[in-house]
Amino acid sequence: MKESLVFFIGINQRCTDRYLNSILYANRAAAQKHIGNIGSAFRDCFFARKFDPENMKAIIRGAECLVELGRGRQCMDWLKINYKSDSDYLNELYAKAQQLAIIEERDERKKRREAEKDLFAKQRLLSAFKKRNINFQPAISFDNPELFEWSQIEVQLSSLKEVIRFNHNLKL
């Protein structure tokens, strides 16, 4: 933590030497990464690279941070920009980033598919309510399934002492 503070003080001096600023940011990124602040470490790598695009420590550490954060596509872009090296370690990081990008794409497809299923279920339910002329307090818009939340459905029966909530599959 002390190291991070020292680099912070150095950065606040607003030195005009771009190379020195790049080193200060890269070193603070190392300290941030060491204590587990991966997002802050990547941000410092980003700034280090703004001052010196050829700073290999910032490039490598930034790629490591992006891999740890699970941002494969961003890591691939990070390594492609101004990247002119045949380092085996960078190639290994790039391969990890490609694997993460594939996983990210799969997860995005899965989320889209789930959202489509959810929207379809909402449309079916709202059209059934509209067809049966069921009213709710507070009122629910039957025409906008995107605005409908499952938590809006709450059944209260006077004979029961509890509130029954249904999930999107209309199950208790």
Q: Which domains does the chain have, with CATH numbers?
A: 2-109 (1.25.40.10), 110-165 (no CATH)
Which structure tokens are listed for 58?
Answer: 């910032």
Helix, strand, or coil (residue 155): strand
Share of the chain above pLDDT 90, in %: 27
H-only helix segments in the chain: 2-12, 18-34, 38-51, 56-69, 72-80, 88-131
Q: Is residue 121 over pLDDT 80?
A: yes
Predicted local distance difference test score (pLDDT) of residue 111 = 95
Q: Is residue 157 over pLDDT 60?
A: no
Q: Is residue 114 over pLDDT 90?
A: yes
Q: Is residue 145 over pLDDT 90?
A: no
Residue 141 vs residue 114, higher pLDDT:
114
- Residue 109 phi/psi, 5-degree rounding, is -60, -40
Predicted local distance difference test score (pLDDT) of residue 92 = 83
What is the distance between the alpha carbons of residues 69 and 100, in angstroms, rounded to a whole number? Answer: 10
pTM assigned to the model: 0.63
Residue 157 vs residue 10, higher pLDDT:
10
Q: How confident is the model at residue 129 (pLDDT cuts 50, 70, 90)?
A: confident
Q: How confident is the model at residue 61 (pLDDT cuts 50, 70, 90)?
A: very high
Residue 27 vs residue 1, higher pLDDT:
27
Straight-line distance from the first to the last Cα atom of the chain, in angstroms, rounded to the nearest whole number? 50
Predicted local distance difference test score (pLDDT) of residue 159 = 64
Q: Is residue 45 over pLDDT 90?
A: yes
Report CA torsion sign: 41, 43, 49, 50: negative
Residue 102 vs residue 142, higher pLDDT:
102
Find the mean pLDDT for residues 153-163: 62
Give the strand pairing for 154-155 and 164-165.
Answer: antiparallel
